[in-house]
Amino acid sequence: MYSEVTTAMKGRTIRRHFRESIKSIGRNGWMTLASISAVTVTLLLVGVFTIIMMNLNKVADDIENDVEIKVLIDIIADPTQAKTAEDKLMSEIKGLSGVNEAVYSSKEHELDLLIEDYGEDLSLFEQSNPLNNVIYVKAKDPQKTASVAKQITKLENVNDVKYGEGKVEKLFNVLNTSRNVGLVLILGLLFTAIFLISNTIRITIIARKDEIEIMKLVGATNSFVRIPFVLEGMWLGILGSIIPIAVVSIVYVNIFNILQPKLHGELLQLLDVTPLLYQVNALILVMGILIGIWGSFMSVRKFLKV
Amino acid sequence: MIQMKNVVKKYPNGVVAANGISIDIKKGEFVYVVGPSGAGKSTFIKLMYREEKPTSGDVIIAGINLSTLKKRQVPYLRRQLGVVFQDFKLLPRLNVYENVAFALEVIEENPKEIRKRVMEVLDLVGLKHKVRMFPDELSGGEQQRVSIARSIVNKPKVVIADEPTGNLDPETSWEIMNIFEEINTRGTTIIMATHNREIVNTIRKRVIAIEGGLIVRDVFGGDYGYEG
């Protein structure tokens, strides 16, 4: 007799569901094509946009990491005293929790750098060098550069601390804003993708609502009706992500190969192909599958109440 | 086999389609349900396979009280019944064989048994040679025979038919009726809502007439009783 025992689904029933879902993809022809196209177009947008945003984000990170603090050391006449004072200051700076790295640069080296930038005219200063010895400091978190600089100011034998006060804060503001805008755009795009894909799937399922009703009338349980549809959604997601993955990979590899040699030594750098494409392609595939499954699940649910 | 006790069905729009129906149908009976359109025939039928739930009263099928049946148990009730519709309700993307087999896949029958039983019933309805055809390649009569095959393939105790000949020409209707009679002689209870006067008057069976949500007549071997 009828019992509540639904128990575990038999293995052959699970195989049947897989078989049915694949068969259905073939037999639904145009509807399948429509769904796959929707998945393809939106995932392509998502992929391209993600790659652009991740690269912009890298540029922002690179710019941030380029920010450093220049610590001018007091001029001390006695060389031995100067040496101990500078060593002490160096170890104090390195002891600060927010400091990532500290590099010493003598005043002679500093002058060489200036001469490099401004020309031999400055070489007459080599007789009496007016510059200070310097320690360059990078903060662990570039955004906290100002507070690290403040801590260094309080240390002994520090003449001055420069990190582009005012400018750095503005730069960080711009970078943060652009990151947030990018994030919002990506989220908006994801939302659109979910909406568009699940709506297309919904339309194809509405076209088959009679089928669902008939299955229920013959005594199919909800899960028996639902599982093939959900699996079909999964296939649609997988099939729909093939073209985006191929296009994104081929285009990015080509762009990378063309641009990367020209950017050699510049601050602006592209993200390497290997981790980036794996990440973005995984994102595309997983999104396709999840949205396909979710869209089918939600659409079928509506028609199960027969 | 089928019992109804003071069944009332009131739809949300205020229509009262069953206004205190009580009936007792024994195992192996063949019952026509007749009455003018909108009199409550369809509701009477739908109450039996739990497409509609009674507002009050009890519907008991094969010992199962449908009024207290939980939603998730409904599929298990429907496996005890075979249902045949005027519009056949075949799955358009499945071929003849798959449509019939579906009723057995649902109960997770083993594939060997499915094959055997499906061919048996398709033989019974005379469609053994068209197993690979799709519903839209079949005539109305053939589609209805597929639908009947599906309804009996898991050996239900009751077959419920809602105007099974409504869309068919007279000759085909007789063929369909022969199949129902054959099924009935094998011991299956049959409830059939129909408008077909000729059939009711020729193949004499128990006739239940419904008007205004009430049973106005219940005669064994009765006639159709309405002017064509």
Q: Give pLDDT < 50 ranges for chain A.
A: 1-6
Residues of A in contact with B64 (CB under 8 A): 2
Whether B106 has its CB under 8 Å from any CB of chain A: the answer is yes
Q: Which of residues 61-80 of B touch A (CB under 8 A)?
A: 63-64, 72-73, 75-80
Which CATH number goes with the domain that contains B211?
A: 3.40.50.300
Complex ipTM, two decimals? 0.86
Tens digit of pLDDT per residue, chain B (228 long)? Answer: 899 999 999 999 999 999 999 999 999 999 999 999 888 899 999 999 999 999 999 999 988 899 889 988 999 999 989 999 999 999 988 999 999 999 999 888 888 999 999 999 999 999 999 999 999 999 999 999 999 999 999 999 999 999 999 999 999 999 999 999 999 999 999 999 999 999 999 999 999 999 999 999 999 988 888 764
Q: Write down the mean pLDDT value for chain B.
A: 93
Distance from CA of B87 to the nearest CA of A (A): 11
* Nearest-5° Cα angle at B169, B87 to B37: 55
In tens, the pLDDT along B83-135 reads 999 999 999 889 999 999 999 998 888 889 999 999 999 999 999 999 999 99
Written as one letter, the residue type at A206 is I
What's the confidence (pLDDT) of residue B227? 64
Distance from CA of B145 to the nearest CA of A (A): 16
B176 within a domain of the structure (yes/no): yes
| CB-based contacts of A116, cutoff 8 Å, min separation 6 | none
Contact criterion met (CB below 8 Å) for B163 and B183: no
- The burial of A208, by beta-carbon neighbours within 10 Å (0-12 exposed, 13-18 middle, 19 or more buried), is given as buried
Residues of A in contact with B110 (CB under 8 A): 12
B189 within a domain of the structure (yes/no): yes
Are A13 and B77 a contacting pair at CB < 8 A? no
What's the confidence (pLDDT) of residue B98? 94
What's the confidence (pLDDT) of residue A168? 82
In tens, the pLDDT along A155-213 reads 888 888 888 878 888 888 888 898 898 889 888 888 888 888 888 888 888 888 888 88
Range of the domain at B210: 2-80+156-219
How many whole angstroms separate alpha carbon B47 and alpha carbon B55? Answer: 10
Number of domains comprising chain B: 1
Domains recognised in chain A with CATH numbers: 11-63+171-303 (no CATH), 68-162 (3.30.70.3040)
How many whole angstroms separate alpha carbon A188 and alpha carbon A17? Answer: 34
What's the confidence (pLDDT) of residue A2? 44
What's the confidence (pLDDT) of residue B177? 95
What's the confidence (pLDDT) of residue B112? 92
What's the confidence (pLDDT) of residue A5? 46
Which of A9, A214, A220 faces B89 most closely, judged by CB atoms?
A214
Distance from CA of A218 to the nearest CA of B (A): 6
Closest CA to A107 of A128, A84, A138: A128
Which of A2, A217, A221 faces B83 most closely, judged by CB atoms?
A217
How many whole angstroms separate alpha carbon A228 and alpha carbon A30? Answer: 18
B132 within a domain of the structure (yes/no): no
